[in-house]
Structure formats: structure tokens, C-alpha cells
A and B are shown apart, each in its own frame.
Chain A
Amino acid sequence: MARTPARAEPHGALDELPGELLMWVLIISELLVFGAGLAAFLGVRLTDPSGFAEAQDHLHRTGAALNTLVLVTSGFLAARALGLRQVGRRALARWHLGAAMLLGVVFLWIKGAEYADKAAQGIGIETHPFFMFYYLLTGFHAAHVIAGIVVLGLVAIWDDAHNIEVGAAFWHMVDLVWVLLFPVIYLLA
């Protein structure tokens, strides 16, 4: 969309960003939102440490740890796809993107099992402030995983290296956010 045509004179450091300026605007916005959400979570936690600790015990730490592995591996595959595409190995790059998407689905499946388990225990978004933040933050994140799978699918179809770079940048953001959410929500004692 906003890609600078080659003939335009350089407009400064922004043009040296890999991928797409708008993607970086989005990534920064997302990080601000999740960062603010985590800060709010930690702030409200101060008002009720024991309630938060008790609520946290209902979470599946193992499942979430497994999900971390799944998502980081998926990010690695997306990054490999870009490298492969740059040296012209299109088919293999696409396989990597497909595998990255598949791992995204695995993440959602594990996450879904976790949500289903919470629902079975009668835990909802208004049960306790801890769960409100839990559902808001992990729910927003899961929505981004879905969006990321779609993005990876799109760049697997329209697979020039620039597109893959932009898609992978989004996917790494999804990764990064999870890596921030996991310790704060699941582990922090």
C-alpha cells in the first residue's frame, strides 16, 4: 500500500525498515496494547495478591509451556521460509510456511482445550479480576494467532520475499507477545 516507489528520494531511517512501514506501526501498536494490558494486570494484582495466586493455580502451566514451544518453533519455521525464498527455493519455503501455520493451529487447539476446561470448572470472564485479564489477554492473543495463520496463508500464496518478510514480522510479534504473556500470567508467583 504505502510502499515507497523506487524513484522516490529516501525519506530517512523509516525507509530502512525491513518489510512494510504499516506493519511496524501495527506491531508497535500491538505491543503498546499488550504491554498496557500486562501493566494493568500487574497493577490490579497488587490489590489482591492472594486472590490472584489462588486463581492462577487453576491454569495449565504445562499446556502453556508446551504452547510456548509450539509457537516459537512455528516462528522459527516462518523465519526459515523467508531465507529459503530469498535463495529461490519457493516450494520448500511454502512447506515451511504451511508447517508454521499448522503449528499455529496446534497452539489454538491446546488453547481451546484450556478454555474448555475452564468453562467446565465454571470459570468465566467475570469470575475474578485475574480471569478477566486472563481471558482478555490470551483471548486477544488467540485472535491474533488466527489472524497470523491467515496472513501466513496469504503470503504462502503470494509468495514474493517482501510479502513473506511482512507476514513473518507479524507472526514474530504474535510469538513475542505470547512469550511476554506466558511468564506474567502463568508463572509469576
Chain B
Amino acid sequence: MKYQSQKIALAYFAVAMALFAVQVTMGLVLGWVYVSPNFLSELLPFNILRMLHTNSLIVWLLCGFFGAAYFLIPEEAEREMHSTKLAYLQLLILVVGTAGVVVTYMFNLFEGNWLLGKEGREFIEQPKWVKAGIVVAALIFLYNVTMTVLKGKKTAITNILLLGLWGLALLFLFSFYNPDNLSLDKMYWWYIVHLWVEGVWELIMASILAYLMLKLTGVDREVVEKWLYVIVAAALFSGILGTGHHYYWIGTPGYWQWIGSIFSSLEVVPFFAMMAFAFVMVWKGRRDHPNKAALLWSLGCATLAFFGAGVWGFLHTLHGVNFYSHGTQITAAHGHLAFFGAYVSLNLAIFTYAMPILKGRDPYNQVLNMVSFWLMAGGMTFMTFVLTFAGTLQTHLQRVNGEYFMDVQDQLALFYWMRFGSGLAVVLGALLFIYAIWMPRKEVIEPGETAEVPAE
């Protein structure tokens, strides 16, 4: 670790991994509700569990991105972060907001209250005060990193990362706009949901992946940057108008079906490019980096993102197909592998790479970490196949034959059992990962300035 302020990342990664554990545990509980629908139905109904599952996912991924930024920006800009205090203040706001969200959801506090009650819009259910907190935290973050980069060296990696993070923060502002017209509501809602994960997050992903490739393979920076620009161009070209693939059935004009189908079909291109990039860099690279687990996660990330986001996305993106498959388990299959491949694996890759450096030790527990990769990746891939088959069957029974939703659900029980099993593998993998990252205490750990308590 060259710069003291990189240490900030440690706190962010700790929070991220704690929430990661919460997220997958909630996922497992949800998987159980699918096979045993009355489980917890009084105490924690399915919709609340699902909110916790998706919200904690998003928050931990964001914490991971922020942590990654705090880790790599000092190194790229070749200077300390503008302010360490602000970075911890930002984290504090995020943690308080998250805690507030969890409590509000679980006990349904202040229902209907403009400021304090949950808002009930999928993924952006947070009460207004939490949303405001997120904006303040984002502003603090952007101020901090932008000042650092402006005063330091500017590289393609930091430029793209900043572009992605600025976009992320600005697009979130649409969460404050809640028109009465449901079609308009959904239209703006996708500005956040789609333009995050299929737009600006891809920039963040590409830049972090580029940083990892640079460090792990030792390929020339110019080569990495050239790839990075091409990937980013392809992502924005396809992703922005690709938003149209969410506008098929929400009441927007019919031409969106073609705009959405055509542009979103091309969204597979940046993901293919990222996969090609990662493998070409490894082949070209001459560096034999000791952190093999980080390399495995990086390659796994690029590959699973290509399949989960690219291929499984394309599977149901054409409006003629989506007319039948919309909102079935096919969507769930795509959602799981896309998020796991693109953003979860990316975060786990940068954690695996950065944690030994942050803790000032050699990359221990490589084998455990790699086992956790195969457990999680295997479990998630199996889950994706299972849900894809379930979704195909569901599409036929429900949309073609016209059977009732709940009758169809009964017929899918076998798939839901298998999904629970694969979920169990993912949770075990996640816990193993966290253990592999944090547990070895035999080594002398460099005492940081921040008394950081490991999450697990």
C-alpha cells in the first residue's frame, strides 16, 4: 500500500462484506419461502424479505465500488485522498441510512409518512430521508475523489471511473421524482434502474477490471486503455437507448419495441469485449502475480458477466420473445447471473486483490478463496439453469396455455427445491470467501489508524 488514505477502502470493504452476508442469507430465506410459502409469512412477509435482499445487494455493491475507488484512485492519481475524514463521514451516513432502511422495512414504521415512511417503488423503496442521505453521501464522495483526481495524475482508468460514479449519482436523483401517471413513473424509474446497471455501472466495472488487469498481468497501460475506451464506447452506445427494452409494455409508444430490441441486442457487445479483454490480457501478460485468486475472480467476473448479462439478457430482450417471457422466472435467472457475474464477482475480485495489500500481508488463503469462487459460481450457474428451465415451463403453461399463476407455481416446485439447494451452495461459498479474506490472524497485521473491526 503506497498511500495511507487507501486504508479507507478497508472500512468500506468490511461494511460491504457484512451486507453481502445479509444479502445472501435473505436470498436463502426467500428461496425457502418459494418451497414453503407460509414460512415467516406473518413475521417477515415475502415482499419485505425481497426488499432486504435487493436493497442490501445494491448498498453493498455501492460500498464495494466506493471502497474500490478509495483504493485505486490514490494509486492512479499518485497522491493521498483529498480528505480521509469526509470519506469516513460518507460511510457513516451510508451505514446509518442502511440501518434506518432495514428497521423501517421490518417494522413498517411511519407508513405513509412523506419523509419517514417507505415509498414502495421497487428497488427505490427507501424513505425520503435515506434517499437524501444517499445523495449527500454521494456528493461528499464525488467532491472527495474529484478533488483528488484534479490535483493528481489523470489516467483513463480514473477518468472512466469518475464518469461512471458521477453518472450513478446524478441518475439517482430521478428517485425523487414520482409522477402520478404510472407509465411516466416507470419511464423515469428505469432511468435509475436500467441506466445504472446497463450504463454507468458498466463504466465502473470496466475501469476496475482494467485496473485489476493492469496490476495482475503487467500488460502496458496503453493497451489496457485502448480496450477500455472501446468497451466504454460500446457500453454507452448500446446501453443508453437499450433502455427501450423496458418500455415494451408500460404504456410508452410502440416504436420503443424496435428501438429497445435493436439497441439492447447490442448490449452483449461490451460484455463480450470485457471477456475478450480479460483473457487477452492474461495471455499477453508476462507478470506472474502471486494473487491467483484475484485473477480467478477477474476472469470469472468477465466470463459470468458475458453469460449472465450478455447472453441471458439477449435471450429475452427481443420484444417478440419478451411478450411471452416477461416477468417469468427467466427474468429471475438473468437477474441472478447478471448481478453475480458482473457486479458481485467484480467486487469480490477487487476485495481479493486489495485486502492483502490493505492488511499488509501476503495473499493467504488462496485455495480457500478459489474454492469459494467455484462454490459460488457453480451454485449461481446451476441456479440460473434451474430458473431458466422453470421460466421456460412457466412461459408455456401460463402465457401459452393460459393456466393460472398459482397453479403454474405448484408445478414448478421441483425447480424451486433445486434452486434452494444451489442457493445454499452460494451462501456457503460467500461465508467461505469472507472467512478466507478476514480470518487468518496468525500474521502480524499492520495496525491501521482507523480501529477497524472486521465484519465477520
Contacts and interface: CB of A to CB of B under 8 A. Distances in A.
B237 A26 contact: yes
B237 A22 contact: no
Contacts of A21: 226, 229-230
A25 interface: yes
Contacts of B229: 1-2, 21-22
Contacts of A132: 254-255, 258
A180 interface: no
Contact of A32 (B220, B225, B233, B266): B266
Interface stretch (A4-12, A73-81, A107-115, A154-162): A4-12
Contacts of B234: 25, 29
A16 interface: no
A8 B222 contact: yes
Contacts of B266: 29, 32-33
B262 A36 contact: yes
Nearest to B226: A2
Contacts of A22: 229-230, 233
A136 B220 CA distance: 42
The DSSP consensus for interface residues of chain B is helix
A36 B265 CA distance: 10
Contact of B253 (A11, A36, A40, A126): A126
B416 interface: no
Which size bracket describes the interface of A in this complex?
20 to 34
Interface in B266-280: 266, 269
A126 B258 contact: no
Contacts of B296: none
Nearest to B222: A8
Contacts of B255: 125-126, 132, 135-136
Contacts of B259: 136
Interface in A91-138: 125-126, 132-133, 135-136
Interface string B244-266: 00000000011100110111011
B256 to A, nearest CB: 10
B455 interface: no
Contacts of A33: 262-263, 266
A125 B255 CA distance: 8
Interface string A14-54: 00000001100110010011001100100000000000000
Contacts of A40: 258, 261-262
The DSSP consensus for interface residues of chain A is helix
Contacts of B253: 125-126
Contacts of A26: 233, 237
A11 B223 contact: yes
Nearest to B261: A40
A8 B220 contact: yes
Contacts of B238: 29
Contacts of B254: 126, 132
Nearest to A1: B229
Nearest to A132: B255
Contacts of A126: 253-255
A29 B240 CA distance: 13
A40 B229 CA distance: 30
Nearest to B258: A40
Contacts of A32: 266
B251 to A, nearest CB: 13
B158 to A, nearest CB: 14
A33 B244 CA distance: 14
Nearest to B221: A8
A162 to B, nearest CB: 16
Contacts of A36: 262, 265
Nearest to A44: B258
Nearest to B255: A132
Nearest to A5: B222
A124 B99 CA distance: 51
A137 B259 CA distance: 10
Contacts of B222: 4-5, 8
Contact of A136 (B225, B258, B265): B258
Contacts of B262: 33, 36-37, 40
Contacts of B223: 8, 11
Nearest to B259: A136
A48 B230 CA distance: 40
Given A25-B233, A26-B237, A29-B234, A37 B226 contact: no
Given A32-B266, A36-B265, A2 B230 contact: yes
Nearest to A29: B237
Choose among A21, A32, A126, A133 the residue with the greatest number of B CB atoms under 10 Å from its CB.
Answer: A32
Interface string B200-225: 00000000000000000000101101
A25 B269 CA distance: 11
Contacts of A135: 255
A25 B236 CA distance: 12
Nearest to B263: A33
Contacts of A5: 222
A1 B261 CA distance: 30
Given A29-B233, A136-B259, 20 more contacts: A2-B229, A4-B222, A4-B226, A5-B222, A8-B220, A8-B222, A21-B230, A22-B230, A25-B230, A25-B233, A33-B262, A36-B265, A40-B258, A40-B261, A125-B253, A125-B255, A126-B253, A132-B254, A132-B255, A136-B258
11 contacts: A1-B229, A2-B225, A21-B230, A22-B230, A25-B230, A29-B233, A32-B266, A33-B262, A126-B255, A133-B258, A136-B255
Interface of A: 1-2, 4-5, 8, 11, 21-22, 25-26, 29, 32-33, 36-37, 40, 125-126, 132-133, 135-136
